């Protein structure tokens, strides 16, 4: 096919419904969980398991947008999405999301095992029902609890290979679980008026900027502990150990800069934006180091 030809609008919109940029990191952590697991899996089955994580995560993103069409329409950042802009109908999004969710879980069950399929189903339900439907519009702790959904993929990847869940994948879960508050609250500080206008009780809207900066710093400490722990516990080698020490030291510096920032209005390329951007690089690099440690330099 001619790569210069744009895809038909409906395909592009269905693709956008899966939140591909955010989900790329979700899928990467799932892939790393799979590659870090002991033992081996047939490459076709391994590929299928990662594909199922991608499809399940994309389906969850579509269902999130189906439910949030009203909120998305009120925020600058999201008003151009396929549903608020009227390029796709809500019914299409619902059918796409439900169909893809069911398909991804069944395929995971066939390609891997019941445990991996069960955790995939749990992640989808958690993101859609616990985060999107229940908590997001009700409490500033929405992402602390609901964010657990995004921490499941390494467990799914691991379970797809081994059929069980042990200390290392639980620590990988903990890293993402504790990383989500600094990741999201750093961003929420500079888009908080959007959330305030839409009536979403995100932390900076409810508790203010100073308190949010403190909470970001507070979550950084247990996150660092969880991220370094696999090394002293003997679950990884020195490559992961060295990478995690450096990556976490930078995280600590950047989150201290957020804590120390006295600017009344987080704006421009300030400490908050730097921490948000770094949080993404951090997770890619940390999980990448885990795989390098296990495969390349073991
Ligand atoms: C409840 C938990 C989370 C919330 C509320 C949240 C929220 C957000 C928001 C609002 C953005 C901004 C832009 C966008 O929509 O593309 C964003 C960006 C991003 N998030 Fe999160 N996030 C969460 C968890 C995660 C998790 C678990 C991952 C991956 C493991 C992740 C990966 C990313 C990435 C890669 C981006 C950058 C996307 C881009 O370049 O446009 N997020 N997040
Ligand atoms: C395997 C599987 C099912 C994984 C689920 C992945 C998951 C929970 C990712 C969370 C990241 C995410 C898209 C947050 C957006 O929050 P938001 O919906 O509040 O953002 P928005 O304001 O951009 O809509």
pLDDT digits (tens, 9 = 90+) for 185-217: 999 999 999 999 999 999 999 999 999 999 999
What pLDDT score does 268 carry?
Answer: 77
Domain count, the chain: 2
Nearest ligand, measured from the Cα of 126: 2
Mutate to test the pocket of ligand 1, among 26, 183, 185, 280 (most ligand atoms within 8 A of CB): 183
**Residue that finishes a domain, picked among 165, 183, 213:** 165
Q: Is the pLDDT of residue 4 over 80?
A: no
Q: Is 267 exposed, middle or buried (0-12, 13-18, 19+ CB in 10 A)?
A: exposed
Instruction: Give CA torsion, residues 9, 13, 15, 16, to 10 deg.
Output: 140
Span from the CA of 40 to the centroid of ligand 1 (angstroms): 31
Mutate to test the pocket of ligand 2, among 64, 74, 158 (most ligand atoms within 8 A of CB): 64
Give the mean pLDDT of 3-31: 87
- Please tell me if the CB atom of residue 150 comes closer than 6 angstroms to any atom of ligand 2: yes
d(CA 37, CA 154): 10
- Please tell me if the CB atom of residue 155 comes closer than 6 angstroms to any atom of ligand 2: no
Cβ-based neighbour number of residue 99 at 10 Å: 12
**Does 216 fall in a domain?**
yes
**Does 158 fall in a domain?**
yes
User: Are 192 and 134 found together in one domain?
Assistant: no
Q: How confident is the model at residue 9 (pLDDT cuts 50, 70, 90)?
A: low
**Does 111 fall in a domain?**
yes
Nearest CA owner, ligand 1 atom 17: 22
d(CA 26, CA 107): 19
**Does 237 fall in a domain?**
yes
- Please tell me if the CB atom of residue 57 comes closer than 6 angstroms to any atom of ligand 2: yes
User: Are 95 and 210 found together in one domain?
Assistant: no
DSSP-derived letter for residue 274 is H
Span from the CA of 172 to the centroid of ligand 1 (angstroms): 17
Nearest CA owner, ligand 2 atom 12: 22
**Does 83 fall in a domain?**
yes
Q: Which three-class secondary structure state does DSSP give residue 235?
A: coil
Q: Is the pLDDT of residue 1 over 90?
A: no
**Does 1 fall in a domain?**
no
Q: How confident is the model at residue 6 (pLDDT cuts 50, 70, 90)?
A: low
pTM summary value: 0.96
Task: Choose between 10 and 165: higher pLDDT.
Answer: 165
For 54, 103, 200, 201, 272, the CA distances from 117, given in Å and listed in that order, are: 13, 11, 32, 33, 37
- Please tell me if the CB atom of residue 153 comes closer than 6 angstroms to any atom of ligand 2: yes
Give the mean pLDDT of 41-63: 98
pLDDT tens digits, one per residue of 102-149: 999 999 999 999 999 999 999 999 999 999 999 999 999 999 999 899
CATH of the domain at 54: 1.10.357.140
Nearest to 149 by CA among 201, 101, 198: 101
Q: Is the pLDDT of residue 3 over 50?
A: no
Span from the CA of 150 to the centroid of ligand 2 (angstroms): 7
**Residue that finishes a domain, picked among 118, 136, 165:** 165
**Residue that finishes a domain, picked among 165, 181, 212:** 165
- In this prediction the ipTM stands at 0.96
Span from the CA of 127 to the centroid of ligand 2 (angstroms): 7
Domain interval for residue 233: 166-298
Nearest ligand, measured from the Cα of 61: 2
What pLDDT score does 7 carry?
Answer: 62
**Does 93 fall in a domain?**
yes
Span from the CA of 22 to the centroid of ligand 1 (angstroms): 5
User: Are 135 and 154 found together in one domain?
Assistant: yes
User: Are 125 and 177 found together in one domain?
Assistant: no
User: Are 133 and 19 found together in one domain?
Assistant: yes
Cβ-based neighbour number of residue 129 at 10 Å: 15
Span from the CA of 116 to the centroid of ligand 1 (angstroms): 23
Mean pLDDT, the chain, rounded, equals 95
Cβ < 6 A, ligand 1 pocket? 21-22, 25-26, 29, 131, 143, 146-147, 150, 176, 180, 183-184, 187, 280, 283
User: Are 108 and 209 found together in one domain?
Assistant: no
Work out which ligand 1 atom sits closest to the CA atom of 29: 30
């Amino acid at each position: 096919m001619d790569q210069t030809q744009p895809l038909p609008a409906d395909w592009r919109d269905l693709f956008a419904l899966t939140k591909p940029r955010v989900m790329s990191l979700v899928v990467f952590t799932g892939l790393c969980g799979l590659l870090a697991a002991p033992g081996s899996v047939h490459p076709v089955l391994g590929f299928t398991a990662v594909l199922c994580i991608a499809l399940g995560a994309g389906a969850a993103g579509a269902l999130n947008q189906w439910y949030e069409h009203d909120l998305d329409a009120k925020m600058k950042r999201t008003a151009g999405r396929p549903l608020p802009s009227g390029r796709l109908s809500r019914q299409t999004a619902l059918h796409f999301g439900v169909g893809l969710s069911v398909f991804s879980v069944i395929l995971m069950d066939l390609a891997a095992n019941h445990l991996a399929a069960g955790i995939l189903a749990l992640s989808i339900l958690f993101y859609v029902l616990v985060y999107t439907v229940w908590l997001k519009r009700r409490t500033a702790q929405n992402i602390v609890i609901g964010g657990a959904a995004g921490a499941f993929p390494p467990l799914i990847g691991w379970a797809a290979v081994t059929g069980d869940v042990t200390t290392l994948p639980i620590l990988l879960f903990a890293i993402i679980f504790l990383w989500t508050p600094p990741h999201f609250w750093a961003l929420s500080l500079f888009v908080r008026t959007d959330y305030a206008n839409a009536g979403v009780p995100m932390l900076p809207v409810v508790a203010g900027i100073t308190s949010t900066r403190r909470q970001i710093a507070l979550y950084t400490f247990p996150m660092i502990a969880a991220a370094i722990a696999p090394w002293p516990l003997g679950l990884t080698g020195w490559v992961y150990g060295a990478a995690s020490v450096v990556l976490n030291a930078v995280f600590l510096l950047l989150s201290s800069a957020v804590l120390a920032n006295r600017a009344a209005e987080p704006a421009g390329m300030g400490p908050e934006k730097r921490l948000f951007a770094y949080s993404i690089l951090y997770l890619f690099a940390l999980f990448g180091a885990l795989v390098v440690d296990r495969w390349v330099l073991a």
